[in-house]
Amino acid sequence: MTFLMTAGNAGAGYYSIIALAKRGDEVKKMILTSRSKEKAEAAISNLMDETGKPRGWFEYVVLDLTDYRSCLAAAEALPSGLDRICLNAGVANAGMHPLGITNTYMPTLGHAVLIERLLELGKISDGARIAYVSSEFIRPLWAFTGMLPGHGRVGCWSNFCQASCWGEGNVEDVITRDVSGWGDPCCIRGHCLPVRGTLQQYASGKLVGSLYFAQLAKEHPKMNIISTSPGGIADTKKSGFVANVGFPVKQLLGSVPSMFECMQIAHSMDAGAERYAELLTGKEKYESGAMPMSGKRCLCCHTWGAMGPMADNRAYNPLLRDDKLYVKAAEVTRKWMATWSENAPQQQEQMER
């Protein structure tokens, strides 16, 4: 089978390719994407050493998920017969993209452009599996109490009132509102942390992405489309996530990553990569539309951290199983895809100046 891994040149994508290479002969071809030819070729050289696979086992396509034309060009360059796709690329950069949406939502929008174009071209096989890499932060995590604002409107700052504050009107609001810096504008003075703004934008973008791909699963019943997560990665040398989060998570992960493992909040990169390999090979583990991420740890604290046995998280959060939100997320995402398409020539001119 032919596998596609976006951002396969580093981080979870890179180590997942190593994990997949150990899965016998199920993977016949591994295609990775990178933002540059140089990074892709360097990664393949290292992966050949790590996996023992020949150069012919690998291919690459240049893909910049913040560039509309690059997304279309990548879809054209990719071969037909894609059997397994892992939409792994993502960023935790706070702030806004010139298009008018958050930086953290741009990879989701780019992935949507890529996948919908691949579907139009008929390059994804019937029976294919598509795994959109979301985040454990799309539902409450007790271990991050005080660091995660809600994903709803201004005024809904508590992570634990997320379900009651959210509605169809929030879907576009959370990806077009800049709350970078100190977090949600409504948070109480003296109780805000820089990490709140970054994590709110990251979580909100990933939540809308998960809802969009749940709708895509309904629209393409011959495919198995899920949202998942590698979990929290404590190994800062292998994960780029920590570089962009704020105080105090960045400082703690950078100096005492073992603390996060001891507290059962995060695990190793190898454990995270194995999640991808498990979902993309062998028999289907979850129905299409599922959101397998960290599951219950005990009766009352199943959302403590981002590690451990996986389970379909739709059971833990009503937002994740709301059909109306699926439709709205797809509507909003396609609206921004169209806006991006209209603005692509102008953006290209600005980049060339």
pLDDT per residue rounded down to tens, the chain (353 residues)? 999 999 999 999 999 999 999 998 899 999 999 999 999 999 999 999 999 999 999 999 999 999 999 999 999 999 999 999 999 998 777 788 999 999 989 999 999 999 999 999 999 999 999 999 999 888 877 777 665 545 443 334 344 445 445 667 788 888 887 765 544 444 433 345 566 667 778 888 999 999 999 999 999 999 999 999 999 888 766 666 655 665 556 555 656 566 666 777 889 999 999 999 999 999 999 999 999 999 877 655 567 778 888 999 998 888 899 999 999 999 999 999 999 999 876 555 544 44
Pairing label, strands 310-312, 292-294 = antiparallel
Choose among 15, 50, 18, 85: nearest CA to 239: 15
What's the domain count of the chain?
1
- DSSP β-bridge partners for residue 87: 132
Domain range spanning residue 271?
Answer: 2-352
- CA distance linking residue 61 with residue 85, whole number of Å: 14
Which domain CATH number covers 297?
3.40.50.720
- DSSP β-bridge partners for residue 34: 62
Burial class (CB in 10 A: 0-12, 13-18, 19+), 1: middle
Q: Enter the pTM of the model.
A: 0.88
What are the respective helix, strand and coil percentages of the chain, to the nearest 5? 50, 15, 40
Task: Report helix angle 68-77 to 106-121, nearest 10.
Answer: 40
The CA-atom distances, in angstroms, between 97 and each of 43, 100, 112 are: 28, 6, 17
Alpha helices in 59-105, H assignment, sequence order: 68-77
- CA distance linking residue 73 with residue 117, whole number of Å: 10
The CA-atom distances, in angstroms, between 225 and each of 74, 153, 294, 317 are: 20, 29, 18, 19
- CA distance linking residue 204 with residue 111, whole number of Å: 16
